[in-house]
């Protein structure tokens, strides 16, 4: 045990003393802050654009304005539903406002058309001349012109990449056509609203035992969905940690092999002790990074909760799910065994490489091996009860990730125990094979091109004398 700790201490301190480690540690929260700031700045600094509608009357202009108001009201309703789902308090003074949003506060503002033909509008659309509006003089961003036949509302603009305004107009024209069709049929404009209001609602209810239903009710809340989000976070955290160890295990093993450090180390410690110490060191390095990022997220969440009342209530279901033994215990076991399987695999492959160029030839299959579990995680998150997930969860390289994601669905106990046993048996097999490969590569000098000789050493065979 003492030798393992010495190897662990040597490798861990070697990693954390490097300036690149601290740069990586600070990069993630720094980039998150910069990304959030840039996203906020981009949303706030998006330019206000003027547009005009050329038509004999004002039917189409009013339809576009009505579509803007409808979307603003829908956004307000979605925000209200989100607040209700998260159980956030809504102060009385913050009650939803039924008044329409001031058009001058939008990113697209309608102004009177400075001309009635495309030739007359051309200098305004090309930025050679400006039009007056609520925010001063600006170039005309776009113009809608009714075609000569009256069958199209043409959209003219010099910027072909920003097309949000055109999609708003398309939705407005669709609703206008429906309204006119209803009028021709002798039905009022509110007919569809009346029909929609009379439709049955379909609230979500979760079946529970009689005792649970009397206590918590049948309504589906965030507390019912939180376990799946927590399980998904744990599975992704395992994937991210496995993804992070590739560079450490490959580069560290190649360096020690090329510098003949293995020979020196193996004179003092046994090979299993060397492998255990190295695997623990890399685990500690990645855990240090994840813990630091977790503390950063916790600090950020604490600050947000002090500024926004009710955020603590929104986080409570997730904390309760994280503390649930039915999720956290299988999650930790899967996490540990999955790390051992992947870590030993990468360490063994790294022992076969003499140069970084050789290691790069192994990176592609390693990345493919890691992307397959990510695809499986995505499928499981969408449909945990899929037969494909049930089958994939028995594949040892997928089991650590998928077992975590299946726990919120209460799988049969025998399946959980059987899959844990499968992981443990496969982890032991990986340990045995990796030790053989590592001995062949690090001690006997086998390389990628010596796979035949390596396999012979793994199974204890000796080559025939020449």
CA distance linking residue 371 with residue 362, whole number of Å = 14
Name every residue whose Cβ is closer than 8 Å to that of residue 456 and which is 6 or more positions away in sequence: 462, 463
DSSP assignment, residue 393? Answer: T
CA distance linking residue 210 with residue 227, whole number of Å = 21
Torsional class of 415: left (φ above 0), alpha (ψ -120 to 50), beta (otherwise): alpha
Token pair 């600090």 is found at: 299
DSSP assignment, residue 219? Answer: B
- Please answer whether residues 218 and 206 qualify as being in contact, where contact means their C-beta atoms are separated by less than 8 angstroms: yes
118: tokens are 């495309």
Would you state the pLDDT for residue 452?
A: 56
Q: Kindly state the greatest CA–CA separation across the chain.
A: 100
Would you state the pLDDT for residue 453?
A: 58
DSSP assignment, residue 442? Answer: I
In which order are the strands placed within the sheet that holds 140-146?
108-110, 49-54, 140-146, 153-157
Q: What is the pLDDT along the chain (466 residues), one digit of tens a residue?
A: 788 888 888 878 887 887 777 887 777 778 878 877 887 777 677 788 999 999 988 899 999 999 998 888 888 887 777 666 655 555 554 444 545 556 556 889 999 999 999 999 999 999 899 999 888 899 999 999 988 877 889 999 998 888 899 999 999 999 888 888 888 888 876 777 788 778 887 877 777 777 777 777 777 777 778 888 888 888 888 887 777 777 677 777 777 766 666 667 767 778 778 778 888 887 888 778 778 877 877 777 777 667 666 666 677 777 788 788 888 888 888 888 888 888 888 777 777 777 777 767 777 777 777 788 888 888 877 787 778 888 888 988 888 888 888 888 888 889 889 999 999 999 889 888 888 877 776 666 666 666 555 555 555 554 443 3
């Amino acid at each position: 045990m003492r030798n393992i700790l010495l190897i662990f201490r040597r490798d861990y301190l070697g990693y954390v003393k490097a300036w690149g480690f601290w740069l990586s540690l600070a990069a993630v929260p720094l980039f998150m802050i910069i990304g959030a700031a840039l996203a906020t700045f981009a949303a706030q600094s998006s330019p206000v654009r003027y547009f005009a509608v050329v038509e004999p009357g004002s039917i189409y202009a009013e339809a576009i304005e009505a579509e803007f108001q409808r979307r603003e009201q829908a956004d307000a309703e979605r925000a209200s539903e989100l607040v209700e789902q998260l159980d956030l308090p809504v102060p009385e003074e913050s009650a939803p406002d039924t008044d329409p949003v001031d058009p001058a506060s939008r990113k697209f503002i309608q102004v009177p058309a400075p001309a009635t033909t495309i030739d007359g509008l051309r200098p305004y659309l090309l930025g050679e001349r400006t039009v007056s509006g609520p925010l001063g003089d600006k170039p005309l961003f776009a113009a809608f012109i009714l075609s000569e036949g009256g069958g199209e509302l043409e959209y003219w603009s010099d910027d072909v990449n920003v097309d949000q305004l055109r999609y708003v107009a398309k939705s407005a024209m669709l609703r206008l056509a429906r309204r006119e069709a209803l009028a021709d049929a002798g039905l009022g404009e509110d007919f569809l609203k009346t029909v929609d209001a009379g439709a049955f609602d379909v609230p979500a209810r979760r079946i529970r035992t009689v005792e649970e239903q009397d206590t918590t009710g049948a309504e589906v809340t965030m507390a019912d969905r939180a376990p799946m989000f927590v399980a998904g976070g744990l599975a992704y955290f395992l994937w991210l940690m496995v993804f992070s160890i590739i560079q450490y295990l490959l580069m560290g093993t190649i360096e020690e092999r090329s510098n003949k450090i293995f020979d020196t180390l193996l004179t003092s410690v046994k090979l299993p002790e060397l492998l255990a110490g190295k695997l623990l060191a890399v685990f500690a390095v990645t855990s240090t990074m994840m813990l630091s990022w977790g503390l950063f997220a916790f600090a950020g969440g604490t600050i947000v909760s002090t500024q926004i009342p009710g955020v603590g209530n929104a986080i409570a279901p997730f904390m309760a799910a994280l503390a649930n033994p039915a999720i956290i215990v299988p999650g930790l076991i899967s996490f540990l065994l999955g790390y051992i399987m992947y870590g030993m695999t990468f360490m063994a492959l790294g022992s076969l490489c003499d140069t970084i160029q050789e290691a790069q030839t192994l990176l592609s299959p390693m990345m493919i091996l890691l992307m397959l579990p990510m695809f499986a995680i995505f499928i499981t998150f969408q449909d945990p009860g899929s037969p494909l997930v049930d089958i994939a969860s028995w594949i040892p390289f997928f089991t650590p990730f998928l077992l975590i994601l299946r726990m919120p669905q209460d799988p049969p106990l025998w399946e959980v125990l059987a899959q844990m046993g499968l992981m443990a048996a496969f982890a032991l097999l990986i340990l045995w094979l990796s030790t053989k490969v590592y001995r062949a590569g690090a001690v006997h000098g086998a390389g990628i091109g010596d796979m035949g000789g390596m396999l012979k050493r793994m199974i204890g065979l000796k080559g025939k004398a020449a």
